[in-house]
Amino acid sequence: MTKMTIRPLVRADLPAIRAVIDATGLFPSDMLDDMTRDYLAMPDGPDIWLTLDLSGPIGVAYAAPERMAEGTWNLYLIAIDPGQQGRGHGSAVLRHVEAMLAKRGQRILLVETSGLPAFTATRGFYRANDYGEEGRIRDFYAAGEDKVIFRKSLV
């Protein structure tokens, strides 16, 4: 049985993570280079980039502090290869991020997602991981597409 490892993202992970992003369709994977540039140049900076490795990268998570708040963080990205979803990998990565932040004395983790029916499973994932719907901004992303904000206390 292959051991699951959650570790900091390294440059060599990017091709596999691009494939995960492409497979999930979250956003254009060519954005990944710009998104990771500062982190890869300064991995000891404030942002968190993690890779879920199972005989190679199959997942990714990205969290960063909210710039205008104390102890509040945003989870900007969590993605697991669709062929590996439904096995608890996403929850494991999410718990890992939460534990890292709690250990650092951080207070809150926020997640934003779409209110479209196509994101029903995504919203269910956060609810199943003890996130409460904190707010909804109607028509945020586009007419008829709300932004749904989830929150979890880390203390």
* pLDDT tens by residue, 78-129: 999 999 998 999 999 999 999 999 999 999 999 999 999 999 999 999 999 9
pLDDT (tens digit, 9 = 90+) per residue, 126-147? 999 999 999 999 999 999 999 9
State the pLDDT confidence band at 1, using cuts at 50, 70 and 90. Answer: low
- Determine the pLDDT at residue 28: 86
- C-beta atoms surrounding 152 within 10 Å: 18
pLDDT (tens digit, 9 = 90+) per residue, 46-83? 999 999 999 899 999 999 999 999 999 999 999 999 99
- Determine the pLDDT at residue 100: 96
Q: How far apart are CA 150 and CA 51, in angstroms?
A: 23
pLDDT (tens digit, 9 = 90+) per residue, 4-40? 899 999 999 999 999 999 999 888 899 999 999 999 9
- Please say if the pLDDT value at position 152 is more than 70: yes
Q: How far apart are CA 12 and CA 10, in angstroms?
A: 5
Q: Which residue has the tokens 């710039």?
A: 67
Q: Mapping DSSP to helix (H, G, I), strand (E, B) and coil, where does residue 94 land?
A: helix
- Determine the pLDDT at residue 127: 97
- Determine the pLDDT at residue 3: 87
pTM of the model: 0.93
Q: pLDDT: is 148 or 29 the higher one?
A: 148
Q: Which residue has the tokens 């993605």?
A: 79
- Determine the pLDDT at residue 99: 97
Sheet with 145-153: list strands edge to edge: 5-8, 48-53, 57-65, 72-80, 108-114, 145-153, 132-142
Q: What are phi and psi of 14, to 5 degrees?
A: -55, -45
Q: Provide the 8-state DSSP code for 2.
A: P
